[in-house]
Structure 1
């Protein structure tokens, strides 16, 4: 909105700086962060007044959580969604379809998460919407978004370490892209189990894909690095800036001891956003590296369930894997910070694939 207003005015004087992507990305970050800090406390107080006893805690989870996290309100993802949406709309160019596709997935998955959280709070149970219903809605939203995105990016799956080489999946690309988005959303959802655990790796992954989006959206850089050029993808760094600012603002209140949990409202939304960024930039495989922490969390659950059903034995003391380390005696803060370190290392590894071609 601000861009187009100043464009209409001819970008007068020093306001010409708004034309630059990097400035608007920074402004988007600051705007989202400031807004989060401004409305965070009132929103948390409102959520607490509406939820009473807060988010129901898993009875089969770590027993300490029944005491330390009892009464903490959920649906804090609303704070993230409000701030990143307002900031993105303020600073982005509205004629860029990728921005709207990412926002569509983010808000769509956020709505699914909100319905899930609402069901948990009203029923006073850790079980929300049925898994089948959730997946059906998620694939419908993701599939529609990928269909729109593929009209501009094509249907080719590109491989890291190879110069602009890939395989055209044709119509199957829509199903593949939807699987990437849904998988990313649910992997982040599984990671969201400790104070501050999920939001910082999401910020790190978003920042990484912000760099990738900027590079693939620049013809000169894309040609130099041997990656597929996606016209208009650079505008996504405005959205990424909003995620970073909103995420940092949320972390201010989610830092231990958390005043609020993001809930499925937040985890599904920002996980879906990360997956969509990977699809738009044609770096779906690199997402496995950059989001390796989320992949590890999801795989730990799959392995645990499969092992128990097949052999009656558990591989981990508790899944997802962050609870396994809690059961080994690691303090919650130790698990969180070490997982942050892993997320940083994996992000750097993902960025390295851009040059190793």
Structure 2
């Protein structure tokens, strides 16, 4: 809204020309989201406490029983703190912006229903696994289909480190994109088991994809770096800025010891939109690196469950996901969190190197 009000006046007032720049509006969205999330946080936490939206801690995790009752559904703080700045600073005539908001709110809606059933209606299991996956698939399918319907959007894949390898998936790209979004969504959801463990790497990933999306949307830079250009996608950089700011503000309250948890409304929306950002900038496979922590946590669960079934009850890890394994080894929670953040930064830098190492 601010963009649409002030940018047209740039011809009359030269100082307003700055509102045309994506970089300026990304920074503005970041600051707006950061301030908004910090202001909303205490009020939202009090409101969730009054509603008795306390987190249920499974009996298999005795070390976390002291956290039982901590307000959850804090992802609402992130959601509001992202949407408002994007509407304020983004170019709302850009279809990619609306598609990104659709994915973010759609996955968030699935998570909200799940959280509502668990913490408000006191149904500990919330949505059934099938219902949750179905909801995610519907949102992802609609977004992927609308994206592929754009004649300027390519269904080719970019393979990191190999600039000349670009297989075209054709209509199969819709199924692939759905897999990326749903997998990413559940990966973040699985990782969200310690205070600040998921939101820290999300901030890093948001910053990394802000860069990749800006590059993909800038024809000259994309040509220079020999990456796929996606005309118009650069405007989504503003969303990434808001995502980073909202995440940093939420971390203020979610840092150890947490005052609030994000719940499924936060983790599913963040994970789903992370996958979509990778799809938008044609770096789908690079998500494995940028979101390496989420991948490791998810793979640890798959390995644990698979080996348990095949071996007749034996386990590889003391407990899955991976962060619980380290907890049972005696590593302090705060150390697991900080080390995970460090690894996320290192993986992001490795992903960044793919722009030149080809």
Regarding TM over 0.5, the answer is: yes
Task: Identify the residue that residue 351 of structure 1 maps to in structure 2.
Answer: 352
Question: What is the 5 A alignment of 1:219-258?
Answer: 219-258=219-258
Task: Identify the residue that residue 28 of structure 1 maps to in structure 2.
Answer: 29
For residue 157 of structure 1, report the CA deviation from its aligned partner: 1.5
Task: Identify the residue that residue 340 of structure 1 maps to in structure 2.
Answer: 341
Deviation track 1:147-195 (CA, whole Å, cap 9, x = no partner) reads: 1122241211221122254111111100000100010000000000000
Task: Identify the residue that residue 49 of structure 1 maps to in structure 2.
Answer: 50
Question: What is the 5 A alignment of 1:13-162?
Answer: 13-51=14-52, 54-61=54-61, 63-67=62-66, 69-150=67-148, 151=150, 152-162=152-162
> Does structure 2 conserve the Cα–Cα contact (< 8 Å) formed by 1:56 and 1:125?
no
For residue 266 of structure 1, report the CA deviation from its aligned partner: 0.3
Task: Identify the residue that residue 298 of structure 1 maps to in structure 2.
Answer: 298
Summarize the Cα distance change of 1:331–1:297 in structure 2 as closer, same or farther, 3 Å threshold. same
Distance 1:126 1:340 in 2: 30
Distance 1:348 1:128 in 2: 38
SS in 1 for 2:286: helix
For residue 126 of structure 1, report the CA deviation from its aligned partner: 4.0
Summarize the Cα distance change of 1:164–1:233 in structure 2 as closer, same or farther, 3 Å threshold. farther
Distance 1:274 1:147 in 2: 18
SS in 2 for 1:124: coil
For structure 1, the 5+ residue unaligned runs are none
> Does structure 2 conserve the Cα–Cα contact (< 8 Å) formed by 1:57 and 1:126?
no
> Does structure 2 conserve the Cα–Cα contact (< 8 Å) formed by 1:211 and 1:237?
yes
Which moves more between the two structures, 104-113 or 117-126? 117-126
> Does structure 2 conserve the Cα–Cα contact (< 8 Å) formed by 1:164 and 1:226?
no
For residue 221 of structure 1, report the CA deviation from its aligned partner: 1.0
SS in 2 for 1:158: coil
For residue 7 of structure 1, report the CA deviation from its aligned partner: 2.8
Summarize the Cα distance change of 1:166–1:238 in structure 2 as closer, same or farther, 3 Å threshold. same
TM-score, structure 2 length as denominator?
A: 0.97
> Does structure 1 conserve the Cα–Cα contact (< 8 Å) formed by 2:185 and 2:270?
yes
Distance 1:10 1:331 in 2: 54
Q: Where in structure 1 do 4 or more consecutive aligned residues deviate above 2 Å?
A: 7-13, 122-126, 162-165
SS in 2 for 1:71: coil
Task: Identify the residue that residue 319 of structure 2 maps to in structure 1.
Answer: 318
TM-score, structure 1 length as denominator?
A: 0.97
Distance 1:356 1:13 in 2: 40
Task: Identify the residue that residue 260 of structure 2 maps to in structure 1.
Answer: 260
> Does structure 2 conserve the Cα–Cα contact (< 8 Å) formed by 1:56 and 1:126?
yes
Deviation track 1:81-101 (CA, whole Å, cap 9, x = no partner) reads: 001000111101112111111
> Does structure 2 conserve the Cα–Cα contact (< 8 Å) formed by 1:195 and 1:257?
yes
Question: What is the 5 A alignment of 1:5-16?
Answer: 5-10=5-10, 12-16=13-17
For residue 256 of structure 1, report the CA deviation from its aligned partner: 1.3
Task: Please report the RMSD computed on the Cα atoms of aligned residues, expressed in angstroms.
Answer: 1.2
For structure 2, the 5+ residue unaligned runs are none
Q: How many residues align?
A: 354
Distance 2:299 2:199 in 1: 19
